[in-house]
Amino acid sequence: MKSIILFELTNFRWLGFFLAMLGVYLLSDGDYFGNPMVQAIGWGSACLSALFWVIMGVRDKDIPRTLMELVYAILALRAIINWIG
């Protein structure tokens, strides 16, 4: 049972990593920088990635990392609202 839980946690970590990489790619690509929808998708990807890392931080009982990722997720939501609205 424990190995299944660790396998699922590992999958969440990789999913969070790939979402973060997607967000960085979309947010740093010069061709897409002026497109508000692509920027919103990039920030949405970054926000989801941060939320995955918040879950991992809570499960690992790592409070500083959890708080850091929570602040990043809140600021990413703010960025989505700014780019769309």
Q: Map out the domains of the chain as residue ranges.
A: 2-84
- Quote the pTM value: 0.78
Which is nearest to 52 in space by CA: 4, 13, 7, 8? 13
pLDDT at 34 over 80: no
What tokens does 2 get? Answer: 């424990």
In contact, 50 and 70? CB cutoff 8 Å: yes
Q: What CA–CA distance (Å, rounded) separates 66 from 72?
A: 10
Predicted local distance difference test score (pLDDT) of residue 8 = 62
Which is nearest to 56 in space by CA: 70, 41, 72? 70
The pLDDT-based confidence of 45 (bands split at 50, 70, 90) is very high
User: Stretch 10-36: mean pLDDT, rounded?
Assistant: 82
**Percent with pLDDT over 70 in the chain:** 87
Cite the DSSP H helix spans in 1-85: 2-28, 36-59, 63-84
